Structures are given as C-alpha cells and as structure tokens.
Amino acid sequence: MSQVLGQRRSITTQRLSLLPPGLEHLPDLIRLKADEAVFGYMLHGTRTPERTREELEDDIDFWQVRGYGTWSVFLRETGEFLGIAGLMERPDGRGIAVRFALWPECRGKGYAREAARAALEFGHAVGLPRIIGVARETNLASRAVLSDCGMRECGEFQHRGHRMVVFESLAKD
C-alpha cells in the first residue's frame, strides 16, 4: 500500500519515491525520453531535449490544474532516478491513462508495477472513476504490468500499424 505525503502530491511505496516533476529533473528526463529502448514504445516516440523541456513545463502546469499527473520515480534506498510513472490525459480522447517508462535495467524488478499501482490508487483517491492503460499487443511486459495492477482488458484500436490493447481500472464504490 502506498502512502500519500504532504499535499497529496508525493508518494512513497515500499521501494520507491514518486515526486511531481520539477525543473531539477530535466537532465534525467532528457536522457530518459531520448532513449529508444525506453520511449520508442511511448505515444509519439522519443523526444528531443527541447520537446522534453516543453513536456516538463506542461506536466508541471497539468499538476497545478488537475491535482495529479506524472511523477519522476526514484529508488528510495539510493535516490537513483528510475524513470517516470503517472496519469495523463490521452490526446486521442480515450480518457485519463496510467503510464510508466523506466530504464531497461529496471525491468523484471517490479518497479513499474509498484509505481503504476501507486498511480492508480492516487488517481482513484482524488476522484477519477475510470483510468485506462494502453499497450501495444506485442509489448507483453507492459500488458503484464497493467494486468498485475488489477486492470482488465476492455478494448483495442489500431495505431500506426500496431494493434493497441486498452485496459481499465474502475474506482471501487
């Protein structure tokens, strides 16, 4: 179970610290979002440093307006930057989606599951009744993370020649 801290923005889990994005995270985000092994699967692919800065500014603004958003994820024990996780409004109108993108060396350790679960709990706690997740049909690791977080498949669509699987998490009454 995650613990929501302070003004309900930062989250700590057993192993992770999830912090709302700040300008101090920009160097780590530039490296992460330029890495094909990390962002090649994300909507719109890898980013330039300029685009990453714009997205960071948008993420900071999104938090101010919505009270939720994307977190920078750190290993609590060492403070090492692992990637990002959080909630975003999909530009295709499908709704608020959980997202996660961690360094390849983080795979297989359960960090994405831990961060995604914390994001889902946070989202439902702040009043989001439905949160979706989207993964390429061939991205079995991301699909497993979404399933393991309690999300269920609820649809599919085609995007740039790829079959995308949609998952959903509904708030419990």
Residue environment code for 86-100, b if the CB has 16+ CB neighbours within 10 A, otherwise e: bbbeeeeeeebbbbb
Asked if 26 and 56 count as a contact pair (C-beta separation under 8 A), the reply is yes
Separation between Cα atoms, residue 107 and residue 89, nearest integer Å: 25
pLDDT along the chain (173 residues), means of 10: 52 96 95 91 86 94 93 96 95 93 93 97 95 94 95 94 95 82
| 50: β partners | none
Q: What is the pLDDT of residue 156?
A: 96
Q: What is the pLDDT of residue 1?
A: 36
Phi and psi at residue 32, to the nearest 5°: -65, -50
**DSSP line for 51-64:** HHHHHHHHHHHHHH
> What is the sign of the dihedral through the CA atoms of 109, 170, 38 and 12?
negative
Q: What is the pLDDT of residue 173?
A: 67
What does R_g of the chain's alpha carbons equal in angstroms?
Answer: 15
Q: What is the pLDDT of residue 63?
A: 93
- Amino acid identity, position 18: L
Q: What is the pLDDT of residue 8?
A: 64
